[in-house]
Structure 1
Amino acid sequence: MSHWKLFLALIILHAHGDHIFTGAVVFREYIGANFDNVRFSDVPINPNIQVHFILSFAIDYTLGSSPTPTNGKFNIFWDSDNLSPSQVLSIKRQHSNVKVGLSIGGDSVGSRSVDFTAFSIDSWVSNAVSSLTRVIKQYHLDGIDIDYEHFDATPTIFAQCIGRLVTTLKNNRVISFASIAPFDDGEVQRHYLALWRSSARVFDYVNFQFYAYDRSTTVAQFLRFFDEQASNYDGRKLLVSFSTDSSGGLKPDKGFFTACQNLKSKGKLNGIFVWSADDSKASGFRFERQSQALLAKSYK
């Protein structure tokens, strides 16, 4: 790496004891959706990189046995017993390289899909800003992730609602980072690309769900998929991903890290995220350790 590139990579520095980690690479993991009693302290944390936990999910649906859309009034649907405000504070105090955010939307609530639904743009944004600000402050959170996967609104309405929400939260200094979590589905891509075209500047990461591709994905196909999505979004913000549940994509024991090494050699490995800590707990977070070790070496 040239001195100039090294300087750029080290613009954002944080100290943790005798270690230094950079803003160039990040490891992110979704946590809490499956109520498997996983805690932040269960997950390995490499001190040489940024580590983001993403609480999953806050959803603008009512609580109870028959959840219905609330027009932007968000409720907590993650395992708040094991992932409480005090536990957020504790993990951040123990590890200065850790940040915690929440993800909104998700695939399903109860037995039904979570549909993005807005009665009007203004009312949804107003309700969302108010309800999410309250949750973010209560839980001492740093950022937000957008993970709607079903839509009862046009791409334009989705883009305006989410764009205004994230812009307002950042302008109000409620959050310091934001991400989106699209995947390669026609309807999903139409909505997220509309959001990206109008509001790319307010998003820091693209948590692209590469595990939504087929389980037969090869290393060569994965690299091609990465380049395709880098052209759709900003390759500098694009993160690679794998899942530790039964979903698809290139698995960590089937070539994922080979693909990461290829991207690393080209300066394209910006970070890795995992779905999810709940599913990884049973195997002792083996692939989380491997991911973080790889990222810690990426720009040395």
Structure 2
Amino acid sequence: MLSKYALLFIFLPLHSLFFNLLTIGAAQPEKLFREYIGAEDTIVRFTDVPINPSVDFHFLLSFAIDYTDGAHPAPTNGDFRVYWDTKNLGSSQVSAIKAKHANVRVGMSLGGDTIGNNKPVYFHPTSIKSWLANAIHSITKIVTTYGLDGIDIDYEHFGSDPDTFAECIGGLIFYLKQNEIVSFTSIAPYEDDSVKPYYLALWRKYGHLIDYVNFQFYAYPRSTTVSQFLKYFDEQSFNYKGGQVLVSFGTDGSGGLSPQNGFFDACSELSKQGKLHGIFIWSADDSKKANFKYEKQSQDFLASQK
């Protein structure tokens, strides 16, 4: 008895069959550009940032934070609140930029490094059950209020064990995707022994639900060379095996491989190898000072990939 796939080949026109075989055999290059926005005191608007219509563009609002004041690490319980500039990056601005640019989606990043006067933002739930219930409620409310498309996980300080982090964040991602509250999820790890175990624990159990790995390559030393960058990329692709690891740089004067020192040379090499999944920048707030020079260059580069 012929399978449904055999029947499909029989009735499919030859030109369509040939096209589909070509499509299956040749992986299409990713043209994804992502940018964090709203984390600094600088006033920056979506409309300030150049948007190339030939790329997929994600804004990541920074940040929604579950924060408890007091002695650190103070317990947190999943009650996320918005800490970005809602006057200039509010719900009306989100809907307007998405209406103007069909290739734009907007998400929010959870956690971040510090708040206020450099107070660390800790992940330190009182219990998995209560944290998850509160996080689902508060995140769903923010997503709905602002018309967002996804979430990014950028915790950098921890008062819990890696398994608790994996169960809380993984459970949140599972619920949001299962109920179609968000359409994409990502994580933003970096190479540090105090951070790495948490994201790897999350990846091992819930990696199939995570669309992108916004790896913070700008957390490496400023002395990073092109060859070292490519080595780092292969290492992180192994750690997050099967994931779409995005390359990155910061416009805040942080470390890593900068555009001036060969970032786009590294991107060209990764593109030749079929490994370039996209580029992200930290952050629009810092880039405004240079008139978004590297946002333009990054998107032009991605758009030129065949």
TM-score (norm 2): 0.89
Task: Say if 2:162 is the partner of 1:162.
Answer: no
Could you tell me which residue of structure 1 aligns to residue 54 of structure 2?
Answer: 48
The answer as to whether partners of 2:53 and 2:103 remain within 8 angstroms in 1 is: yes
Give yes or no for contact 2:32–2:56 (8 Å, CA) kept in 1. yes
For 2:119 and 2:301, the matched residues in 1 are separated by 38
Decide which structure has the larger Cα Rg and report it: 2
Cα distance in structure 2, aligned partners of 1:259 and 1:63:
42
> How many residues are paired up?
287
* Match in the other structure for 2:98: 92
| Structure-1 separation of matches of 2:277 and 2:304 | 12
Instruction: Tell me which of 124, 140, 143 is aligned to 2:147.
Output: 140
- With over 3 angstroms needed to count, the CA separation of the structure-2 counterparts of 1:293 and 1:8, relative to structure 1, is farther
- Mapped to 2, the partners of 1:5 and 1:114 lie a distance apart of 49
Letter matched to residue 170 of structure 2: G
CA distance 1:163–1:236, change in 2 (3 Å): closer
* Aligned twin of 1:18: none
| Structure 2 gaps, min length 5 | 1-17
Q: Which amino acid aligns with 1:215?
A: R
Question: 2: distance between equivalents of 1:261 and 1:221?
Answer: 15
Q: Tell whether the 8 Å contact from 2:65 to 2:110 is kept in structure 1 after alignment.
A: yes
TM-score, scaled relative to structure 1: 0.91
Match of 1:262 among 261, 265, 269: 269
CA–CA separation in structure 1 for the residues paired with 2:182 and 2:252: 29
Query: CA–CA distance in 1 between the matches of 2:84 and 2:171?
Result: 25
Distance in 1, matches of 2:220 and 2:124, equals 26
Tell me how far 1:70 sits from its aligned partner: 3.8
The corresponding residue for 1:39 is: 45
Runs (4+) off by over 6 Å? 2-6
* Partner Cα distance (1:176, 1:275) in 2: 22
Contact 2:73 2:122 in 1 (8 A): no
- What is the alpha-carbon distance in structure 2 between the residues aligned to residue 190 and residue 155 of structure 1? 6
Report deviation, 1:62. Answer: 4.9
1:288 and 2:304 equivalent? no
Residue 101 of structure 1 aligns with which residue? 107
Kept in 2, the 8 Å contact 1:39–1:83? The answer is yes
CA distance in 2, matches of 1:70, 1:152: 10
User: Which residue of structure 1 aligns with residue 239 of structure 2?
Assistant: 232
CA 1:63–1:25 in structure 2 vs 1: closer, same or farther (change >3 Å)? farther
Cα drift, residue 24 of structure 1: 2.9
Q: 1:184 to 1:293 in 2, by over 3 A?
A: same
Within the candidate set 65, 74, 85, 1:79 is matched to: 85
- Read off the aligned partner of 2:45 and give its amino acid letter: R
The root-mean-square deviation of aligned C-alpha atoms, in Å, is 2.3
Relative to structure 1, the CA distance from residue 253 to residue 43 in structure 2 (aligned partners, 3 Å threshold; closer, same or farther) is: same
